[in-house]
A and B are shown apart, each in its own frame.
Chain A
Amino acid sequence: EDKVVQSPLSLVVHEGDTVTLNCSYEVTNFRSLLWYKQEKKAPTFLFMLTSSGIEKKSGRLSSILDKKELFSILNITATQTGDSAVYLCAVGYGNKLVFGAGTILRVKS
């Protein structure tokens, strides 16, 4: 059975801290790994990773994939209160995605 495990389940940090969110997976047909941020309702797209070892970066957020060890990390540097959200990791083939349970991040001012 396809499985995506995220850790930690929740995290509380102070503004300015750096956080690392983890995602490990076991899927039968891997093509891509995606990260989403969910604040209220709609998950918003952050990154798509398909190749191992290539870091994707967007502002203070970055992510990397290790296809040999079957995991990915999402880093957020200099956290802000606006980063408070649930971060979702999803893997799969085509548009059939298997999601992890998410990491709840709370950034305190």
Chain B
Amino acid sequence: KAGVTQTPRYLIKTRGQQVTLSCSPISGHRSVSWYQQTPGQGLQFLFEYFSETQRNKGNFPGRFSGRQFSNSRSEMNVSTLELGDSALYLCASSLYWTGEGKNIQYFGAGTRLSVL
């Protein structure tokens, strides 16, 4: 069974640009969550989608947005990039949103975003 797939793996952008990252969950998984990982702040929750609906949202500005498609694939978008947005963006998928054992999140390898 294929794992969580994130594309692209690496991305270099300049300040002010926007970027779209993609995540394909494990087959059959319906929930997709996004996290930002930086050396200073660690792993921080961005948002979670289940059945094309945003279920939870972290404390990030509105420049960070996401969506989920009917096949459970998800994209996140960051507009007006800032230097501080440089990070590893990780996507995780799980079977369901909640329910013991059903919401174990499995992570992809991430997209490394560098903002110059």
Collect the chain B residues with CB atoms within 8 Å of residue A50's CB: 100
Residues of B within 8 A of A88 (CB): 43
A18 at the interface (CB under 8 A from B): no
A36-B107, A93-B98 provided; 12 other pairs, C-beta below 8 A? A32-B103, A34-B105, A41-B88, A45-B105, A48-B104, A50-B100, A94-B56, A94-B97, A94-B98, A97-B33, A101-B42, A102-B42
Which 9 residue pairs across A and B have the least CB separation, nearest first?
A99-B43, A96-B56, A41-B109, A94-B98, A42-B107, A95-B48, A42-B109, A43-B107, A95-B33
Q: Are A95 and B106 in contact (CB under 8 A)?
A: no
Given contacts A95-B97, A99-B42, A100-B42, contact A42 B56 (CB under 8 A): no
9 residue pairs from A and B, CB less than 8 Å apart: A41-B90, A44-B107, A45-B106, A48-B104, A88-B43, A99-B42, A99-B43, A99-B44, A101-B42
Give B residues with C-beta under 8 Å from A.
3-4, 31, 33, 35, 42-45, 48, 50, 55-56, 58, 88, 90, 92, 94, 97-98, 100-101, 103-110
Could you say which residues of chain B place their CB within 8 Å of the CB of A98?
45
